[in-house]
């Protein structure tokens, strides 16, 4: 919210764009839109900015964070079992797949990870980490990639830029001790949920209490999240009643609260609808893939591992042909099978 308010004060274009995005979101809400159909693919680049060896996190740690994002935004995280029964009907599936980029902006092969050595001991929320000239790393084109910066943040777990802001600062920043689930990740923020929370902001979700301090007049503009008085922290017990929201109280298990990683486990249907509205209104260049049981016309897909008698794969493939004619086959789930794609 600090970044949001700073841009509102200093950038009239941002203020106008934010109004347009919120108006489009409200129009979709009034039209009872249920969100995008199919699955949205978001290529990710992770900029690791480090001043010492411990901050230069491993590729495996980066991969662990991408895996968390894919579980959380698809509603497939195992800890959903901790959601109180009163909110289980509100569980949302974002149908968003995050994938480390395999091509950089020039078209060259990449791991989706950049590494930058810096003399800056710790960064703040002033966006310096997003510029090479300030000791950080420049963003890749924001209409093609979700930029994630990992660095040592001073007194912050992370921060994000809402849709509608400048392209050169678009993305999220996460402290290296709160990124992923292995390596330098430290309890109680060691399950990758800081990035889930910040990517929620990148997709236009507000904090669940509506950012009005401890009052009860704020709103996150989502109907199925209860009103609450300020953020929750730690590991609350159910029910946690504020703002007259008895008997069920605050939805502290929501990713957009401030609780410890093991306590935040869900998005709601209403939050998914808001994220999809943001994708359509402000991030339309990220492609939507229609779920299919068969490859598109012109291609034959064979699961070679299954043909050899191995157990079934993780699920039905999500198939898409990108604008450059490249055929992509993705599985929602872990799939160690070998696949063959052949033109008819």
Q: Which residues are catalytic?
A: 198
Cα separation of 344 and 301, whole Å? 10
85, 203 in Cβ contact below 8 A?
Answer: no
Q: Is 36 helix (H, G, I), strand (E, B) or coil?
A: coil
Q: Which residues pair with 99 in a beta bridge?
A: 43
For the chain, what percentages of helix, strand and coil (3-state, to nearest 5) are there? 30, 20, 50
Helix (H, G, I), strand (E, B) or coil at 268: strand
| Overall size of the chain counted in residues | 344
DSSP state of 29: H
Kindly list the distances between the CA atom of residue 328 and the CA atoms of 59, 287, 325, in Å, as whole numbers in the listed order: 23, 12, 9
Residue 1 CA: distances (Å) to CA of 246, 271, 329: 28, 18, 37
- Dist CA 243 CA 185 (whole Å): 34
166-192: b or e for each residue (b if 16 or more CB lie within 10 Å)? Answer: eeebbbbbbbbbbbbbebbbeeebbbb
Q: Which residues are CB-neighbours of 39 under 8 A, at least 6 positions away?
A: 95, 96, 97, 288, 289, 291, 318, 330, 332
271 sits in which H/E element: helix 269-282
Q: At what angle do helices 193-202 and 59-73 cross, to 10 degrees?
A: 60
Asked if residues 266 and 21 have their Cβ atoms less than 8 Å apart, the reply is no
């Amino acid at each position: 919210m600090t970044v949001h308010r700073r841009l509102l004060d200093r950038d009239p274009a941002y203020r106008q764009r934010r109004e347009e995005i919120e108006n489009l979101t409200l129009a979709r809400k009034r039209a009872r839109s249920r969100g995008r159909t199919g699955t949205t693919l978001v290529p990710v680049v992770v900029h690791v900015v480090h001043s010492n060896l411990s901050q230069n996190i491993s590729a495996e740690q980066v991969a662990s964070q991408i895996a968390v994002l894919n579980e959380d935004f698809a509603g497939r995280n195992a800890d959903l079992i901790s959601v109180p029964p009163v909110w289980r009907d509100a569980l949302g599936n974002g149908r968003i797949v995050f994938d480390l980029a395999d091509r950089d902006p020039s078209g060259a092969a990449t791991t989706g990870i950049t590494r930058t050595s810096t003399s800056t001991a710790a960064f703040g929320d002033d966006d310096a980490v997003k510029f090479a000239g300030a000791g950080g790393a420049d963003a890749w084109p924001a209409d093609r990639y979700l930029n994630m910066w990992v660095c040592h943040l001073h007194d912050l777990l992370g921060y994000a830029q809402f849709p509608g802001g400048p392209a050169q600062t678009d993305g999220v920043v996460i402290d290296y001790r709160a990124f992923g689930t292995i390596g330098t990740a430290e309890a109680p923020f060691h399950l990758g949920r800081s990035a889930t929370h910040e990517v929620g902001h990148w997709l236009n979700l507000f904090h669940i209490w509506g950012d009005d301090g401890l009052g009860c007049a704020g709103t996150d503009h989502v109907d199925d999240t209860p009103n609450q008085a300020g953020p929750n922290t730690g590991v609350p017990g159910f029910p946690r009643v504020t703002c007259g929201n008895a008997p069920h109280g605050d939805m502290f298990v929501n990713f957009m609260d401030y609780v410890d990683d093991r306590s935040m486990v869900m998005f709601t249907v209403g939050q998914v609808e808001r994220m999809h509205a943001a994708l359509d209104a402000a991030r339309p260049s990220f492609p939507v893939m229609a779920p299919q049981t068969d490859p598109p016309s012109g291609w034959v897909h064979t699961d070679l591992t299954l043909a050899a008698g191995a157990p079934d794969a993780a699920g039905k493939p999500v198939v898409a042909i990108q604008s450059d004619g490249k055929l992509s086959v993705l599985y929602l789930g872990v799939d160690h099978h070998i696949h063959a794609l052949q033109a008819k």
